[in-house]
Structure 1
Amino acid sequence: MKTSRASLQFRILDIELTDENAFASQLASLAENSPAMLWRGDSTGRCVYLNAPMRNFWGLTLDQCGEFDWATSLLPEDHEAVFGPFAIGMKSHEGFVCEGRYRRHDGEVRILRTKATPYTDAHGHFAGMIGVNEDITELRDAERDLGRRNTELREATKRHLAIADRLKLATSISGLAMSEHDAALRYTWAHNVSGDPLGKTPAELVGPDIGRPLEAILERTLSTGEPQSEELAMVFDGKPIWIAIQTSAVERRGGETSVVASALDITARKLNEQKLEVLARELSHRVKNVFSLVEAIVRQSARLSDVPKEFVLGLESRIQALAKAQDSLAVMDDDRVDLSVLLAGQLSHLSGISMSGPAVHVAGRAAPYISLAVHELGTNAVKYGSLSAPDGTVELSWGLAEDDQIAMIWREQGGPRPVGGEKRGFGSNLLTRIFAAATYGTAEMTLGDTGLVWEARMPRAEAILNAPRAEGG
């Protein structure tokens, strides 16, 4: 059977149409099931097609697409940002990109970025726009968060740079040298360090005489991981110098440990301290000479007048007590005296006295009155109190009470029964009224069945040093 030419052409055309229909169907299925939100509008801007993700966003069925006005879901504040590019694109038949906030079918506001391009009909005439909407809400949130963090970072960087500038200026003015060293003790960073230190060890930079002691501190910091603080005395260019070294270990990323160090020339301070020590010793020596002179004057005057010997001996012993207090003042560093050292200096020559208490300090200006008080108590105990008896004892104890007060108790036991009188002499006034006024504290003396009891309270050195001085005191 022969096939006509016309019949063959018809079959070929039928096959082509069938293929085109199949391709169109596949393309429509691809658009419908695409994860992107796709849409198509006509030449008036009305929706004629929304794919499944786009319909789900607005909660629409396929039949509702033709009647849906997408503009109703756009927030009023974003009308200009969306309608402006949309109108220009529709008028010029050109693609456009815009971005706006839309209310989703569940009420949540989402940010959609629209990319649209024009399409034509079979005759090549403009038929509308096709486009894709991309939900960029999380992207914009991330950008805002990133922007906020970048702003915070810039502000923090400005602050840190300002601090670094001030630190650089301060260290330059003070002469403080700072550096960082790796595990081999080589300089990896330096500020205010002379020469070219990077990559060198301290011994390589300044020589072994100065560098080795510094390296020993750096090595100790690396091995123990503990900060180090030390004052190094050395000779440089034939002159003695002192350097205060501070170090701290720093763990870097990757587990490497380095050492940050600072060095400050304290030679001027040390020389001044030495001068002050010499002056203090000379002053103490001269003060003790004055006490000796006063004692000699008292003794000589007593010989030329009718003064009881007991009075002279009592006055001399009090002057000697003040001289011993001066010894304690001469060795103090910061106008504070260790209470136990002060008491031992006055009472160590007496047997039968036990002393106990924590390490506390009293102000230097209170030390003479404390010395006079315990000297008076010791002298009285030897003459009339518990230490006048073979088995008599004295317990002297102190501790910290409330309000940062030092509580001190002198308790005698085993001596003759004390006998009180109406008359109050200098010793009684010294142990109560004078002591309390001089130490900014309280003092009370009682005569119990077992012996004399003296209780006193006074502020610690830190408090009494800040108290105003009495006029003439």
Structure 2
Amino acid sequence: MKLSSVKESDRLRIVLAGLRSAGVSMMYQDTDLAIRYAANLPGNWPLDTDLEGASDDQIFNAQQAAKVLSAKQQVIQTGETIKLEILRDADNERHWFMLHIDPDTDADGAVIGLFTTILDIDDIKYRETVLKTLLRELSHRSKNLLAIIQSVASQTARSSQGLNDFLFAFRNRVQSMAQSQDLVTASDWRGAELFALTQSQLQPLVGKNAPRFTITGDDPYLFPNAALHLGLALHELTVDSLARGALGPAGGKVELEASEHLNDQQVPELTLTWTETFATPPAETEIQTNHKNGFSGAVLGRIVPQALSAGVRHETSDNKMIYQLVIPESQYEAEPRHTRP
């Protein structure tokens, strides 16, 4: 069918069909704000034909209608277009609409009526709400992260022997937190898997496949706060082990085991145990100081357990070092069981 053969009534029908597909509604009113024509109105609105001669108070409740009528009277008086977001609350349903109110003028420029284009913006308002929530969450997490970094800087400075020592340790610790944060961000702030978090902390220090390190047991999803703090603990354990323990001069092996179980109150909790078995017993002075002094001791003995509301056990003997956290269910989400090197 050629375009020239399309009747004017068919053209109007085609236009309305296109507007309907796009979710666009239309309304025309005279200067008394009586509705003279309506098309494609949303399904839960009054019928187009029922609105002829009516006003906006037939569509909106009293408060909303007053807002719409005020805007339309302003367009009649000024001849300028107005855009208005309006929440229609009717029949136990709430929907947001964008109203484009345009003047209809005669040849002399006098306003003789109003065109109102109505667009459903529920999706837009939903995205705005989600974005605002995410920004608030991001602000909250950023403040927490900055507070942690400030604490790390302060504690590192107290235990450093000089500027170079401070810079080396502080940079490594900030990098450790960045690696944990990358995993949390990649999961849309859900958290990080324990195994992935552990490997992200060990790989920069001991390589991708450390022959003397094994992780076994459950692989839970740690919530963001737990992932960040536990990542810092794993970093300190690895650094200390390389300096004095089984991954370093003492030789031997390290096993990290994660196991979920029920406590005495029949509530699930996660026991995470880092065990170093030494091939050669460290010197007596190293046994006494291993993992327990300076910033490392503060992280392992106080900062991480408090942040996770976890119980802690930290023991060192001639042939073994055990660091254990008992983490409440509020800090993680259970995942399937694995065994990985």
Q: What TM-score results when the alignment is normalised by the length of structure 1?
A: 0.35
> Which is bigger in relative contact order (C-alpha 8 A, separation at least 6)?
2
Greater C-alpha Rg:
1
